[in-house]
Amino acid sequence: MKLSEIAKIIGASFDGEDIEIDSMNTLSDATSNELSFVANSKYVKEIANSKAAAIICDEKTASEVPKESVALVVAAPYWQMAVVSEYFAPPLEDNDAKEAIIGEGSVISPKAEVANGAVIGKNVQIMAGVYVGSNVTIGDNVILYPNVVIYRDCKIGSNCIIHANSTIGSDGFGFATNAQGVHKKIYQNGNVILEDDIEIGSSTTIDRAVFGATLIKKGVRIDNLVQIGHNCEIGEYSVLVAQSGSAGSTKLGRNVVVGGQAAFAGHLEVAPFNTFAARSGITKSIKESGKTFAGFPVMNHREWLKLQVKLARLIK
């Protein structure tokens, strides 16, 4: 879209050079032909180094926008970002793409559906009820059990196993809310990337990113009924047990072990080689490595055990 069109849609004044905007992205990742936004004070420090062609912002942050970028000043940047996101959303299926490419030795059930533009590697087994969306790429030696759904543009590495009813690439839970309490959908225009040697249990959901990718790194093991939010990053060889969940943009380091029903708040960073007991509630970033945690709010596992003993004595 032309920048002038975007300005008109969101009601921002615009009198600079009218350039073509290809897509939307975060402040830190945006390029000179992309649109970004800032709606949270914690990200103001990223404005100065942003290469975005234009930035949706409010009057308070407009002065922080570099000269190379255009400031699109509005009263509610987050809401207007949600409005614009719809215009950059791709079609649900790319029917004009070339017919799917199927690798040698792959077996696809006649009851499965592979959309145009998909690329399937060698020796892949796709069982009944599976849906593989437009422009999905799947590596070699992958097994997709019945009713697995892979939304468009997602990437699955080699030697992966995804069990029945799991969904890769569904929309992240993103909404802007105005002063009247009305919710506006933020279109999730990124994707999900699964690297090699990953196994995912049944009925697990991994949401696609708003921008960029939700990333599951090599060797990860994910149990049944796990929720991974948009833009999360799960480090190599991490293990996530059933009913655990990660809110959006949380990053887990290598070999993190997450017990059943443990949950992470959004935008956290967890150091490698940490273990979280079942039902842990993690609300702050963890910078130490090699520790075991438990409880809510989370604490050192030994301290949590001592606390439980003292509580039991109080009851007696």
Tokens of 28: 């830190």
* 95: Cβ contacts below 8 Å, ≥ 6 apart: 116, 134
Q: Mean of the per-residue pLDDT values for the chain?
A: 95
Provide the Cα torsion 7, 36, 80, 285; round to 10°. Answer: -170
Query: Is 45 within 8 Å of 28 (Cβ atoms)?
Result: no
The model's confidence at residue 41, banded by pLDDT at 50, 70 and 90, is confident
Residue 35 one-letter amino acid: L
Cα–Cα distance between 157 and 142 in angstroms, integer?
8
Topology (CATH) of 173-316: UDP N-Acetylglucosamine Acyltransferase; domain 1 (2.160.10)
- pTM beyond 0.75: yes
134-160: pLDDT as tens digits: 999 999 999 999 999 999 999 999 999
Query: Would you call 7 helix, strand, or coil by DSSP?
Result: helix
Q: Can you tell me the distance from the alpha carbon of 251 to that of 269, in angstroms, rounded to the nearest whole number?
A: 5
Active site residues: 230
Looking at 3.40.1390.10, 3.90.1150.10, 3.30.70.260, 3.30.1490.20, the CATH number of the domain 3-88 comes to 3.40.1390.10
Tell me the average pLDDT across 74-88: 96
In tens, the pLDDT along 199-255 reads: 999 999 999 999 999 999 999 999 999 999 999 999 999 999 999 999 999 999 999
260/43 Cα distance (integer angstroms): 33
Q: Which CATH architecture is the domain 94-165 placed in?
A: 3 Solenoid (2.160)
Residue indicated by tokens 């070339």: 98
Q: Do domains 94-165 and 173-316 have the same CATH topology?
A: yes
Distance of alpha carbon 49 from alpha carbon 51, whole angstroms:
6
Beta strand pairing call for 175-177 and 213-216: unpaired
Chain position carrying tokens 């520790």 = 291
Grouping H, G, I as helix, E, B as strand and the rest as coil, residue 313 is: helix
Where are the domains positioned within the chain? Answer: 3-88, 94-165, 173-316
The 10s digit of each residue's pLDDT in 259-308 is 999 999 999 999 999 999 999 999 999 999 999 999 999 999 999 888 88
Percentage of residues in the chain with pLDDT exceeding 70? Answer: 100
Decide if pLDDT at 316 tops 90.
no
Res 219: pLDDT: 98
pLDDT at 43: 83
Contacts of 238 (CB under 8 A, 6+ apart): 217, 220, 221, 252, 253, 254, 255, 256, 257, 258
* 221-222 sheet: strands from edge to edge: 107-108, 125-126, 143-144, 161-162, 199-200, 221-222, 239-240, 257-258, 275-276, 292-294, 299-300
Which runs of E-coded beta strand occur in 190-238?
A: 191-194, 199-200, 205-207, 213-216, 221-222, 227-228, 233-234
